[in-house]
């Protein structure tokens, strides 16, 4: 049985040891799932960084890395390649590539509270909605 769809399922990646980041990922997953309105693959799945980096199939999915580069190896891998689309006082960072074939986002901060603020900003400032429009749009157009 197919569990993910590379065009619609969003992979949320946290550091293996980052308990607080997993809580943030769970909250963000619920937000994504709610917006997916029950469509089979329009949802989030959460994995840890080392497993993601060892799994080439998951790397073809839209990906959101949560946690700083010291806690999340995926954030570390993305940091130089993603543009900063939101920052606050050099402590809160939302980085993204929403134009590429595979959409990638990194949400992180200088500490746990700043990382939580980055996740919140990603949702509140509409960047999550922009990401979802870009990855789910073509399926809606096909149904019309």
For residue 46, give the nearest of 17, 14, 16 by alpha carbon. 14
**Residue 62 near residue 111 (C-beta atoms within 8 A):** no
For residue range 92-133, what is the model confidence (pLDDT) as tens digits? 999 999 999 999 999 999 999 999 999 999 999 999 999 999
Q: What is the pLDDT of residues 69-99, one digit of tens each?
A: 999 999 999 999 999 999 999 999 999 999 9
Assess if CATH 3.30.300 describes domain 10-143: no
Please tell me the predicted confidence (pLDDT) of residue 141: 47
d(CA 49, CA 129): 24
Residue 15: exposure state from Cβ atoms within 10 A (0-12, 13-18, ≥19): buried
Q: List, in sequence order, every beta strand (DSSP E) within 1-137.
A: 10-14, 44-48, 63-66, 83-88, 92-97, 104-109
| Residues 52-67: tens digit of each pLDDT | 999 999 999 999 999 9
Whole-model pTM?
0.93
DSSP element (H, E) containing 1 = none
Query: Any idea which residue has 């992979």 for tokens?
Result: 11
pLDDT the model gives residue 2: 66
Structure confidence at residue 14 (pLDDT): 98
Cβ atoms of 10 and 44 closer than 8 Å: yes
């Amino acid at each position: 049985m197919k569990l993910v769809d590379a065009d619609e399922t969003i992979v949320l990646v946290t550091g293996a040891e980052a308990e607080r980041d997993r809580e943030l990922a769970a909250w963000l997953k619920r937000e994504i799932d709610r917006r997916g309105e029950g469509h089979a693959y329009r949802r989030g799945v959460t994995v840890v960084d080392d497993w993601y980096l060892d799994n080439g199939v998951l790397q073809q999915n839209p990906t959101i890395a949560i946690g700083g580069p010291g806690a999340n190896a995926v954030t570390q891998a993305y940091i130089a390649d993603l543009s900063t689309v939101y920052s606050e006082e050099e402590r809160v960072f939302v980085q993204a590539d929403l134009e590429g074939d595979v959409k990638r986002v990194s949400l992180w901060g200088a500490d746990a509270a700043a990382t939580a603020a980055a996740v919140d900003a990603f949702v509140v400032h509409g960047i999550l909605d922009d990401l979802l429009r870009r990855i789910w749009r073509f399926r809606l157009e096909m149904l019309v």
